[in-house]
Amino acid sequence: MTHHVLLVATVLVACGIQPMRTANILLYPFGHCVNSHLLNFEKLAAILLNDGHQVTMLVHDNYDGPHSGVNLSRVRLIHFKSPENVSVICGFKSLQTFLDTPLWQIVATFYKSTFAFCDSLLGDHDVLQQIKRENFDLAIYDAVDQCSRILADYIDIPFIVFYTQGLENVFPRHPAYLPSLLTTYSDTMTLTQRVINTFGYVAQKLIAYTTLKYYQQLKLSHNLNTTRHIQNSYKAASLRFILGDHGLDYVGPMQPSDILIGGFVQSKPKMIPSHITDFLDETGDEGVVVFSFGSILKYYGPVWREIFAEALARLPHRVIWRYNETLPHNLGNNTLLVPWLPQSDLLAHPKVQVFVSHCGLNAAYEASYFGVPVVAIPLFADQSYQATKLTLHAEMGVKLSIHSLTADGLYNAIMAVDTNSRYRLNAKRISFIMNNKPQRQHDEIKHWVNYVVHLQGAPHLKSKEHDLTLCQYYMFDVLSILLLSLFSMVIVMFFSTKFAFKAAIHLLMTHATTTSNDCTTSVH
């Protein structure tokens, strides 16, 4: 038996194939509560387990997952203590509660909670020492959680940064054709929009700078690898896994270390629960509308549930609505209420005609992947940005404002999306693009993880762009020298011309005087 193993290993090496070794991998998700970031990291853990690796997740002590439907029984968990008396933005009690909450308050709560969780983690010395003792081969961090920058510096091992917000925050972005997350324009902008978009980028930079300043102070207070500034932490990343796809996202410059894995959130369709399957089987040619705002809303509230129910009841379609509260008075016989639905599996069903969604990142990619037209009703964060990509860029649906939404408006939008073949054709085109890859993105994730583990890092895939300052990257220093040189040339030319002009005038005057004197002498 030993001889056979040695023979296989020898053949693999001779063919240039390195036998894969089991790696010890740490995952740190943005998982303060159940959200799409946490769900994606659970799916990532399952992929790495399936590839034979040992996987450990660093989570708070209230984590009760998995929540994504994957089997994580072989994943080791390291728990750190959650902060006490901290409000966390994971959703809203009702839609009306969201609309009544000022945006600044939502943003402030988000930053305060993430900072508190980071402080609690860094103060848990037993956990930090345990992480060091584990001798991990690789770490994968969620870029949304700035605390991962401090962990990356502290653990000091090869790592991959997972950007779960898509392409908009990753690449060197040019404001002339790549919209800022704060503006929600498309990649075709007017002059006025380009000006506003530029200010949007400046605002993003200022927000990031201010945020990192507080985390740098936190890093210093806990005395963790104080030699490296937190702004430089991600420069050491071997790769950037990006939840993006050229089928849906705006095209921009990419580094070899940027790996697009937008389709990884989807898996092969699984069995749909029987009560939903029966409902689908009873549906005729009219098709099904799926209505879901994901886990962001616990309840719709008395006013909004009646608005939605009225619009859905008027549809000729059958409707599957993710809903878990008091029955609406306007509920139609065509509507099935379910407290939870297998969204990805449902969107893969051929009878689904339209998807009404808040357009979270996963929902946007699932609709695109399976080619389902959308009625987008974004609420906050990057949802409006995703909705714009679906409706203006991909042209596979329409976008509605929750602030002016009515039952008539929702009904008309659903009917328009379903009856206009352009939306369906565009959705199918995007689906074709996303599904036609050289390899499944699950396999691509496995390949690149093994690649980094084998090489113990991949600095050769990164350009020196990461080492440049903003001034150097946009060549403001070069432009300033060129402008200074041009200005100097203009000054030299000006004074040279002025001097030459004065000299010429002087010569002319001298010549005129001499000529006049000569003429006077001749007369006498």
- Tell me, yes or no, if the two domains 17-266+439-471 and 274-435 fold the same way: yes
Q: Cα–Cα distance between 310 and 321 in angstroms, integer?
A: 13
* Helices vs. strands in the chain: H and E counts, helices first: 17, 15
The domains of the chain are located at 17-266+439-471, 274-435
For tokens 């925050």, name the residue.
169
Buried b (16+ CB within 10 A) or exposed e, 155-193: bebbbbbbbbbbbbbbbebebebbbbbbbbbbbebeeeb
Name the CA radius of gyration of the chain, rounded.
30
**Chain segment 319-329, per-residue pLDDT in tens:** 999 998 889 99
Provide the token pair at 428. 């199918």
pLDDT surpassing 70 at residue 470: yes
Mean per-residue pLDDT, 94-117: 83
Query: CATH assignment of 274-435?
Result: 3.40.50.2000
pLDDT digits (tens, 9 = 90+) for 5-54: 445 444 444 444 454 679 999 999 998 888 888 989 999 999 999 999 99
Measured CA to CA in angstroms, residue 465 lies from 158, 241, 253, 254, 452 at distances of 19, 18, 12, 11, 21
The enclosing H or E element of 347 equals helix 343-347
CB atoms within 10 A of CB 487: 10
User: What's the whole-model pTM score?
Assistant: 0.85
CA dihedral 81, 85, 86, 88 (to 10 degrees): 100
Domain 17-266+439-471 listed as CATH 3.40.50.2000: yes
pLDDT tens for 184-197 read: 888 899 999 999 99
CB 241 within 8 A of CB 166: no
- How many Å apart are CA 10 and CA 8, to the nearest integer? 5
